[in-house]
Amino acid sequence: MKTKKNYLFTGLLICLPFLASAQNQATTTPVASEPFASPEMVQQVLYLAFATVCVLLISVIFLTISVRLLISQMLGQAGIEKKASAFDRLYQYLIGREVKKGKQLDVMINHEYDGIQELDNDMPPWFKYLFYLTIGIAVVYMMVFHVFEIAPLSGQEYLDEMAQAEKDKTEYMKKAAFTIDENNVTLAESAEDLAEGKGIFIQYCAACHGQLGEGKVGPNFTDKFWLHGGSINDLFKTIKYGVPEKGMISWQSQLNPRQMREVSSYILTLQGTNPPNQKEAQGVEYIPASAAAFDSTAVPVDSLSQTKP
């Protein structure tokens, strides 16, 4: 009767942490405003949860074994014989045989150091089984990754993830193109973006500004003088809204924000190219903010000429 009470008390002690954890989870309400977790975060949480469960399971097994051994010792000291259960027999089998008193000489090795002699005990079965398990895992790993190539190696997995990241980046840039405006636009510097900007310029802008930006009906883009500002923000704004009173139409109905950013960036690369048949300078010389502290002069040329971004 006392043994059953001890088992019940031990079980309650083991279950108390789990009951407290379940109570905390039940009383915790999720915040509706929190965003959904990414797949990578979910995977990390699952790994952490699995590791936590393994640690708890090992702890429970260790505590159970310790408590049972303690109970067995207490029963032995009290002179009460306890019938070995299946669990006890399995435990004894896994830990291996124990050398009884008076039998040490049978397993003693002829080796002594500083008065200490060594016994030739058998390796515990649980340790040998664990070693066999590692061999089996190694064989399965070799078959899966190297022989049948069912799963990719880490190097190939890295390349696949990088390729997927490039696709995701492209999709994101397509969606983000419509969030660009004259306030947050930045200069496009990649060769791909500038090449696309050149194509847009040839298709839509060259008729008025020349194939090389030398200027025709519209002003010259290859000098430092501008009618409506020469920064990337100024060019984007002029292309987007136009200047109807001077013949410059609004392009926001024909070009998306990303295309306007690319063509604006390409136009800025035409400065200093010195093409033939350049039109005379118009407007005010634009000095970037980084150079304004050294030279803040601006020379007006002709503010009444054709519109120039």
- Residue 218 belongs to a domain with what CATH number? 1.10.760.10
**Does residue 300 form part of some domain?**
no
The residue assigned the tokens 């997995």 is 157
Q: What residues have CB less than 8 Å from 124, skipping those under 6 apart? A: 94, 95, 96
Per-residue pLDDT of the chain (309 residues; tens, 9 = 90+): 444 444 444 454 455 455 444 444 444 444 444 444 567 778 788 889 998 998 999 888 878 877 877 777 777 666 666 666 777 677 777 777 666 666 666 667 777 778 787 777 778 888 899 999 999 999 999 999 999 989 899 899 999 999 999 998 878 767 766 788 888 898 988 999 999 999 999 999 999 999 999 999 899 999 999 998 899 999 999 999 998 888 889 998 899 888 999 999 999 999 999 999 899 989 899 888 765 544 445 444 444 344 445
pTM confidence score:
0.44
Same domain, 131 and 174: yes
Same domain, 214 and 279: yes
pLDDT, residue 23, reads 45
Same domain, 224 and 145: no
The residue assigned the tokens 């952490």 is 48
pLDDT, residue 249, reads 92
CA 253-257-261 angle, to 5 degrees, is 125
Q: What residues have CB less than 8 Å from 65, skipping those under 6 apart? A: 91
**Does residue 272 form part of some domain?**
yes
pLDDT, residue 44, reads 82
Domains of the chain: total? 2
**Does residue 4 form part of some domain?**
no
> N- to C-terminal Cα distance for the chain?
96
Same domain, 160 and 207: no
Same domain, 211 and 248: yes
Q: For helices 257-268 and 191-200, give the axis angle rounded to 10 degrees.
A: 100
* Tokens at 65, concatenated: 């074994």
Same domain, 226 and 159: no
**Does residue 283 form part of some domain?**
yes
Q: Give the C-alpha separation, 143 to 271, whole Å.
A: 62
Domain range for 135 is 115-181
Same domain, 136 and 174: yes
Q: Final residue of a domain: which of 142, 159, 181?
A: 181
* Tokens at 126, concatenated: 């649980």
229: left (phi over 0), alpha (psi -120 to 50) or beta: left
Same domain, 174 and 199: no
Nearest CA among 284, 225, 237, 228 for reference residue 261: 237
What number of other Cβ atoms are within 10 A of residue 233's Cβ?
Answer: 17
